[in-house]
Amino acid sequence: MITLEDYFGPFFNHPDATVEKKANAGALLEQVNGLRDDARADGVVFVVNPHTGNFISGNGHGGFRPEDCTVGADNSPHKDGNGVDNYDPRRSFAAWCRMHPERLAARGLYMEREEWTPTWVHLQRVPPRSGRIAFIPSSAPPVASSLV
């Protein structure tokens, strides 16, 4: 389970971590944790990220990102509490998500395609411009193989 404290990490009391962004993150985590429960029930095993000590990917920017954060896009859903990177070095959660797009849709979630996220699963509440459940996040070339 990913908690609000995990999500905000060292930025929990940052001025950019407003009440509205914490409410967004709370709703996001309810959806994401539900999806993770679905995957766990189907046999997906989640591992803790040794860098964060929780299930969020990266070195501290896989959850909330303050406005001045240089990691990711300027308009990243991480900056308003609507996006999270799930640690997934085995790619088992990514494979499960790609096999079950209906589960993401039922939870109101969208994911960056796994070819651009080799050790994490980015999930967000806000629809991407394409409107697709699994979307291409950038014009950069893919860095990993497809799982479908």
The predicted model scores a pTM of 0.96
- Identify the CATH number of the domain in which residue 17 sits: 3.30.1380
In a domain, 145, yes or no: no
Q: Please tell me the total count of domains within the chain.
A: 1
Per-residue pLDDT tens digits for 89-142: 999 999 999 999 999 999 999 999 999 999 999 999 999 999 999 999 999 999
Domain assignment of residue 142, yes or no: no
Residue 81 resides in a domain = yes
Residue 61 domain flag? yes
Does any domain span residue 147? no
> Using H for helix, E for strand and C for coil, what is the string for the chain?
CCCHHHHHHHHCCCCCCCHHHHHHHHHHHHHHHHHHHHHHHCCCCCCCCCCCCCCECCCCCCCCCCCCCCCCCCCCHHHHCCEEEEECCCCHHHHHHHHCHHHHHHHCCEEECHHHCCCEEEEECCCCCCCCCEECCCCCCCCCCCCC
Give the count of beta carbons closer than 10 Å to the beta carbon of residue 66. Answer: 15
Domain containing 49: what range? 4-135
pLDDT of 74 > 90? The answer is: no
Residue 102 lies in a domain: yes
Beta bridge partners of 84: 123
Q: What is the pLDDT of residue 128?
A: 95
Kindly report, residue by residue over 59-68, the tens digit of the pLDDT.
Answer: 888 999 999 9
